[in-house]
Every structure is written in C-alpha cells, then in structure tokens.
C-alpha cells in the first residue's frame, strides 16, 4: 500500500498536503526498539514493500528513497509507503535517469558513481532494508559517510549464518553491485522478486489482497491513537491549522466542505485504491 494524497494547496509561504493518517508507527521505530525482526516477520514486510514498489514501477515511477523511516505500519500492521518527494515519473523498463539523490545508507553503487541508473536502484534499497531487518544495521553502514560510500562501492557483502540460506541468497542478489545482475533488474521486475525461494512459503495473491494476517499488531485504540507517534511531534504547536478555523466539522462525512477552494481535490467518484 502507499499513502494517498486527498488534497493539496498552498499559501504565500506554505505548501500543504492532506494525506492518510497512518498510526501504526514507522518501521524504523519498531526496528530500533526490537533491533532485529524474525525472518518470517521480515519476509512479510519485504513482500508488502516489494509489492508497493512493483506497483509504482508498473506506473513508470521510480521511488529512490526506500528506507525504514519511509515505511509505516497501519493500524492492523500492514506496510504503507510514504514520502514520494524523490520519485521520478515516466521511467520505463530499462530507461535511465541520472539525478544524484537518496539517503546515504541506502544509495545504490551506480548512484554513487553518478552513472545513469534504472528502477533497479529500488531493488537495491529493498535489499538494504531487508538486511537491516535481519541484521540490525544497513549492509555497509559506517558512521563515517566517506567510508560507508567506499564500502557500498567496493566492500564485499558480509552475511552472518544467523538466517536461512534463502535469505542470504536473496540478499546477495538484491545487493548485487552490478545493477544488470541484480534481482528484479530485468523486464520481469517484481515478478522476479516473487519467484525467489525466500518467498516460496508466501501466497502473493492473498498478500496483495491483505488476507494474510500481519505478524505484528500495533494495538492502537482507534484511528486517532498516538501511541506510536514520537512525543516530540505531538508536543509541536500546530500553526495555521484548519482546526483553528470555524470550518471544523463535527461529522467526518462533512469534512470535504472544509477544503473548498483547495488547488487539488479528487473527483467525488474517485474510488482509486493503491495496492
């Protein structure tokens, strides 16, 4: 799943986006608390992440910023991708782009080399996130950014024997430094990921229809529960909020009236649901 933008507008000094409220917490938050996930839990998250990324690829969109901070859990524990600021549209299979962007720990070697790159950079990032879920740190992590970049470019991948051989194999294939040899880099894209032995126990049809129970339930009390939101953000004052206006609605069904005049609002008949 991906977050849906419902409205957007701008004032003279601010740009506003009205998105889904997802309150199961960041994957980063849960991973920091637990250090590592079991292999079955990591498999479930990796599959839902891959499904969302593959969907974006099918729309000719490259994501470029896959990391635990951009992966949220909904109230039931399903994965939701967010933050599409580094996305690029119109990228067909094997078409390249050259913008240097992303988060240091998750940059693919071809991006660091400033070479033209394809959607395969997203599968590198999936490998980095899966590695972090299984081992507790990104694969080539160093506090020294220069050293980390050198590691990404030249250091062999180190895999401890604490996970299955299938898990080690998919990490080797996703974190392949040569993008043309990377799992998912060909025309099959997501389907190549799905066919790997690491996901052999998983029914993709059930996964993509959300019929598989998540391995972790955030146990939120309701749609406004803040238990997984960092108190630092909860304490921040909300300046120039619609809450301070006389347009606050008592009924959720009336909330659309609060956004009359926005520069973007979806059509009333729009029933689009992203997988």
Question: pLDDT at position 31, please?
Answer: 95
Among all residues, which ones are annotated catalytic?
65
Question: pLDDT at position 224, please?
Answer: 83
Range of the domain at 72: 27-208
C-alpha to C-alpha distance for 56 and 274, rounded to whole angstroms: 9
Q: Taking 90 as the threshold, does the pLDDT of residue 74 lie above it?
A: yes
Torsion of Cα atoms, 43 then 49 then 50 then 53, to 10°: -170
- In this prediction, residue 162 has a pLDDT band, given cuts at 50, 70 and 90, of very high
Domain assignment of residue 220, yes or no: no
Question: pLDDT at position 268, please?
Answer: 56
Question: pLDDT at position 248, please?
Answer: 42
Domain assignment of residue 275, yes or no: no
C-alpha to C-alpha distance for 120 and 174, rounded to whole angstroms: 9
- In this prediction, residue 249 has a pLDDT band, given cuts at 50, 70 and 90, of very low
Provide the CATH number for the domain around residue 202: 1.10.510.10
C-alpha to C-alpha distance for 192 and 126, rounded to whole angstroms: 13
The overall average pLDDT reported for the chain is: 88
> What is the phi/psi pair of residue 82, to 5°?
-140, 175
Domain assignment of residue 84, yes or no: yes
C-alpha to C-alpha distance for 127 and 175, rounded to whole angstroms: 6
Domain assignment of residue 271, yes or no: no
Q: What angle do CA 107, 122, 84 make, to 5 degrees?
A: 90
Question: pLDDT at position 246, please?
Answer: 46
Domain assignment of residue 69, yes or no: yes
Domain assignment of residue 173, yes or no: yes
- In this prediction, residue 250 has a pLDDT band, given cuts at 50, 70 and 90, of very low
Domain assignment of residue 241, yes or no: no
Number of domains in the chain: 1
C-alpha to C-alpha distance for 73 and 199, rounded to whole angstroms: 20
Domain assignment of residue 159, yes or no: yes
Question: pLDDT at position 47, please?
Answer: 98
Question: pLDDT at position 12, please?
Answer: 72
- In this prediction, residue 264 has a pLDDT band, given cuts at 50, 70 and 90, of low
Closest by CA to 261, choosing from 247, 243, 244, is 247
Question: pLDDT at position 272, please?
Answer: 42
**From its phi and psi, is residue 158 left (phi > 0), alpha (psi between -120 and 50) or beta?**
beta
Closest by CA to 71, choosing from 15, 16, 32, is 32
């Amino acid at each position: 799943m991906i977050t849906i933008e419902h409205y957007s507008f701008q004032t003279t000094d601010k740009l506003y986006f009205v998105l889904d409220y997802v309150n199961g917490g960041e994957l980063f938050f849960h991973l920091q608390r637990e250090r590592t996930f079991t292999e079955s839990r990591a498999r479930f998250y990796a599959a839902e992440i891959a499904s969302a990324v593959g969907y974006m690829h099918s729309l000719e969109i490259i994501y470029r910023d896959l990391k635990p901070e951009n992966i949220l859990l909904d109230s039931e524990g399903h994965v939701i991708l967010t933050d599409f600021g580094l996305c690029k549209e119109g990228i067909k299979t094997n078409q390249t782009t050259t913008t240097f962007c992303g988060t240091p720990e998750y940059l693919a070697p071809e991006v660091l080399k400033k070479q033209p790159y394809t959607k395969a950079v997203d599968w590198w990032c999936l490998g980095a996130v899966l590695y972090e879920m299984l081992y507790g740190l990104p694969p080539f992590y160093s506090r020294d950014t220069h050293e980390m970049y050198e590691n990404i470019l030249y250091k062999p991948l180190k895999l401890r024997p604490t996970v299955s051989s299938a898990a080690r194999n998919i990490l080797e294939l996703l974190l392949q430094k040569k993008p043309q040899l990377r799992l998912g880099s060909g025309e099959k894209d997501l389907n190549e990921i799905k066919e790997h032995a690491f996901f052999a126990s998983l029914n993709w049809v059930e996964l993509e229809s959300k019929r598989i129970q998540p391995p972790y339930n955030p146990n939120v009390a309701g749609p406004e529960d803040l238990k997984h939101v960092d108190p630092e953000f909860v304490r921040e004052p909300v300046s120039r909020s619609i809450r301070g206006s006389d347009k606050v609605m008592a009924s959720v069904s009336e909330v659309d009236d609060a956004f009359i005049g926005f520069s973007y609002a979806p059509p009333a008949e729009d029933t689009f649901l992203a997988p």
